[in-house]
Amino acid sequence: MTQLDATMDAKAIATIRGIAMDGPHEARSGHQGTAMSLAPVAHVLWSRIMNFDAANPNWFDRDRFVLSPGHASILQYSLLHLYGFGLSNQDLREFRQWGSATPGHPEVGHTAGVEVTTGPLGAGLSNAVGMAIAEESMRARLGAEVCDHYTYGICSDGDLQEGISHEAASLAGHLGLGRLIFIYDDNKISIDGPTSISFSDDSANRFRSYGWDVTEVGNIGEDLNALEAAILAAKDVTDKPSLIVLQTEIGVPATESAGTNHVHGYAIFDEEIAATKAVLGLPANEKFFVADDVLAACEASGTRGAALREAWDARVAGYDGDRSELDALMGSTPLAGWKDALPTWEPGEKEATRKASGKVVQTMAEMMPSLIGGGADLTGNTGTTIADLGVFSADDRAGRQLYFGIREHGMGGAMVGMAAHGGIFPVGGTFLVFSDYMRGAVRLAALSKLPMVFSWTHDSVGVGEDGPTHQPVEHVASLRAMPGLDVWRPADANETTAAWIAAVEADGPTAMVLSRQGLPVLAGTADRDAVHRGGYVLADSDTDAEIVLISTGSEVQHCMAAASTLRNEGIAARVVSLPCWEVFERQDAAYRSAVIPADLPAVSIEAGSTFGWARYANTTLGIDRFGASAPGDLVMEKLGMTSNAVAAAAKELLGR
């Protein structure tokens, strides 16, 4: 393997540190210190350890790198520039500016070479756990000739204080993810001051208790050979994830700010930058200086994986296994004929949408090799059981059922990493009310446009006796407010199947909001093309409609019943099912106005917050309070979720 000599190593590290000062100073915003102190270990990872081909940053079998403290993004951008990923010196100069390739925190899909969107602390570590799960799964099923790589990451004190890191690290240790290696930057500094003011965990022993291999290497942050040896030793541990605890001095070698909490952010200005550059052997007054020989050496190092990639290309081209499964796995796509294999129901049958979804999941697992999933200790409850295809564990890497344990946030973060890795379509389930616990991960999935399904069940006060702590009220409205997330609340089993098709074909994540209670299968919901428009006319009157009744989920049945009641009283009503607002809003204006005409009065009903419904209805029936503990049907009735309430509201609106 091509390796830089000691002189070039020193010059490259000095260059990274210079850029780490210049980028935030040019932007008057950013984080200098962590990037400076981590420059040596990051350089060792990229120049000596990781396998990648900078000219082909999406090569499937590359090693993955996750910078969990994403505030130190200037470090990653410096590496991407030096190692030839196409990030220019001008891009570095536009750090944190509008439209630049160097945003304040790394964003996957925005900057070549960035694997996941990091910034919210702890999230990157959880994503890396998901990446390691994905690698193990695909290696077990396709063989090492197709999938054989590592996931490396850097985490900080802040990452280890956030709860998501505890959940994800516990899961990684339980699963024995031996190809996951993290370097913990134990610099003992946070924004408020030394970490001792709020943090006294024994992190090393905590990770040992999780089942990680932990090596405490002390303050070897400037010893490149010792750093390399520690990482290579971690690679020899095959049955556990590894944590290398490295003590660094934040901001080193800044002449005044090193070691202070101020340099965690933007603290090194003109005179200190010049003085520190003098220490580093860089031109004191030249911004973003990269010597020609440094750039050439690092770019050459960035091509060292080209031969590995070419050999991999040849192996994949000559793959003698099941080619259809290989292609479906690599592309995260279903097998041919998958839509025809999905279950359907006849009008008049009764099925909870969570159970209908469970039947779809089972079929999808058989027709989509990349689908892996489970629940947060609620697998059967949330329709995320995958039977007869094995359980992913330390002993069976090919299993498709994944038990996440009671770790909603960690589950979401791992799902993000699995999807970002590629080759995996993750599914994770819990009760809708507990989506609050995983909201940060869901937001990153939406921001990153990663296809996956969050199966959130027990979607209303219909949960019943468990009471208001378990009865979601505001959740659907709040999830609809999140950009990039399609929120499907199907009216019955057939709409559920259609929603799953939409989720598999979507360009981002899908929230599947599903009922605990059984719902009648309605006539007209089997029209998948109609359902896939997000909203459609489910039932219309024989004469011109006088009013529109609009709903989602378990309340669509009430609109159908109310329309019948109104018809008997001489009032012509149209029923609109609106299972996915986001998809409906992407339809053209002509279609939307044809479904919900602006000149017709409308009543909406949904067993949750009425927030947002005013865009579609003049009268909005919902639940703008917390629920109550009682049988679900009774709670629904007491809170006005009935066909009688819809009919009464319609007549009042019409002045009848």
Please state, in angstroms and rounded to a whole number, the distance separating the CA atoms of residues 474 and 459: 11
Question: Is there a contact between 156 and 119 (Cβ–Cβ < 8 Å)?
Answer: no
Question: Is there a contact between 448 and 109 (Cβ–Cβ < 8 Å)?
Answer: yes
Please state, in angstroms and rounded to a whole number, the distance separating the CA atoms of residues 533 and 388: 34
Please state, in angstroms and rounded to a whole number, the distance separating the CA atoms of residues 22 and 288: 6
Select which of 351, 408, 495, 606 is catalytic: 408
Task: Annotate 269-292 with three-state secondary structure.
Answer: CHHHHHHHHHHHCCCCCCCCCCCH
Question: Is there a contact between 357 and 428 (Cβ–Cβ < 8 Å)?
Answer: no
Q: How many helices (H) and strands (E) does the chain have?
A: 25, 19
Q: Supply φ then ψ for residue 45, to 5 degrees.
A: -60, -50
Please state, in angstroms and rounded to a whole number, the distance separating the CA atoms of residues 28 and 112: 24
Tokens representing 398? 């090919």
Element containing residue 214 per DSSP (H, E):
strand 213-218
On the CB side of 357, CA atoms within 13 Å amount to 37
Q: Per DSSP, what are the bridge partners of residue 401?
A: 373, 391
The torsion angle over the Cα atoms of residues 588, 594, 598 and 600, rounded to 10 degrees, is -160
- Hey, which bits of 72-161 come out as E strands? 151-156
Q: What is the CA radius of gyration of the chain?
A: 27
Catalytic residue check, 408: yes
The letter for the amino acid at 396 is D
Closest Cα partner for 163 from 436, 512, 429, 480?
Answer: 436
Question: Is there a contact between 438 and 411 (Cβ–Cβ < 8 Å)?
Answer: yes
Please state, in angstroms and rounded to a whole number, the distance separating the CA atoms of residues 16 and 38: 10
Please state, in angstroms and rounded to a whole number, the distance separating the CA atoms of residues 318 and 312: 10
Q: How many CB atoms lie within 10 A of CB 307?
A: 10
The catalytic site residues sit at 408
